[in-house]
Amino acid sequence: MQPLGQERARIVGVVTFYFVVSISMVYLNKFLMEAFKFEYPLFLTWVQQVVSMVGLLLFSLLGTRVQLLAFSTPPECNKKLILGILPLTCVYVGMLSFNNLCLKYVAVWFYQVARSLTVVFSIVFTYTFLNTKTSLAAMKACAVVILGFLIGAYGKAGVEAPDVAKDDVAFLYQRKLVGVIFGVMSSVFVALYSTYVKMKLPLVNNSEWLLLNYNTAFSVVLLPPLILAFGEYPALLSRGDVLGSTYFWVTCVITGIFGFAISLAMFMQIKYTSPLTNTISGTAKACVQTVLAVILWHSEINLTGVLGVVLVIGGSFWYSMIRHWEMANRVVEPVLPVALPQQKSDV
């Protein structure tokens, strides 16, 4: 058992690592789209997954030599597991794709609001697939999130558009609607992925790392057809100025490294911290990400936008705390021994 000081230092380090990596990943993706005028989120997602796959292979090689990386099990190929995990990977690809598609159309501060309905869909899917009911208190917290989403989605604030279209109100509303739809789809897939993970983890002996290996490898194969379906390939061919830029590819690789680091950070948070710590750090990260987005991107945000963000983050935090308290206070009834009937004595 580690000393208390070392344990606290490790938790602080893991949470800080998650903070920096998660926020940086969103900002780097937005930077690529804006600095290079490169609005091809699915292609960027594919590049990041390729880099993540390389990272996983590297960690699996180091895992046999470095004790700190002993959790990184080597990749394997099991046909039965492939068939069992493939539906989960499709959901995983949808989650990654709609995250970046949403980011393409909305401002970074609104990104949190657009994807805020995850808790709502989580309730629906856990009841549908796991037959898990939700308490009234948690439902009230979800109502706050929904209210924040509706308030935040109102108006044209929070949308990203080319400078030439800044005064085209109809175009801005249309673009925001597309961003909101992608955000809702992202929420659906994030909630569905969380539910599916609980169902599929037993297939890999509850190894989140092995599951990540399968998901990343399959996503590299599944994303190219989506890139073609969304029409990004023809547009990419006309962007030789960007694709021939060393600076662009270096930035892409760095973004991919951060994408891999996010998977590592989430794994470390699950392994080394408590659910309560995850809840608090996730809420704090959302606040910091939103505030920094307004400062760094000089994004337009109005009163309804601020109210929407506050309600979404506050409602999500309230919901997470309620779920934590419910799990912590869940009483497991002891199994009492069955009293055997006593035989009467003949004496």
139 pLDDT above the threshold of 60: yes
- Report, as an integer, the average pLDDT of 222-232: 93
* pLDDT value, residue 64: 66
Tell me: the pLDDT tens digits for 11-25?
778 888 888 888 898
Tell me: the pLDDT tens digits for 143-189?
999 999 999 888 777 776 655 456 677 888 888 899 999 999 999 99
Nearest 5°: phi and psi at 122?
-60, -40
Q: Are 282 and 320 in contact (CB under 8 A)?
A: yes
Of the candidates 259, 135, 121, 134, the residue with the CA atom closest to the CA atom of residue 194: 121
Q: How far apart are CA 183 and CA 231, in angstroms?
A: 20
Task: Please state, for a pLDDT cut of 70, what percent of the chain lies above it.
Answer: 83
63 pLDDT above the threshold of 90: no
* pLDDT value, residue 189: 92
Q: How far apart are CA 273 and CA 268, in angstroms?
A: 8
- Report, as an integer, the average pLDDT of 89-104: 92
Q: How crowded is residue 7: how many other Cβ atoms within 10 Å of its Cβ? A: 12
Q: Are 104 and 30 in contact (CB under 8 A)?
A: no
* pLDDT value, residue 335: 41
Residue 159's DSSP bridge partners are: 106
Nearest 5°: phi and psi at 211?
-65, -40
Nearest 5°: phi and psi at 26?
-65, -45
- What's the full length of the chain, in residues? 347
Tell me: the pLDDT tens digits for 303-341?
888 999 999 999 988 988 888 788 777 644 444 444 434
Q: How far apart are CA 66 and CA 38, in angstroms?
A: 39
Residue 22 burial (CB < 10 Å; 0-12/13-18/19+)? buried
Distance of CA 20 to the CA centre of its chain: 15
* pLDDT value, residue 252: 92
267 pLDDT above the threshold of 80: no
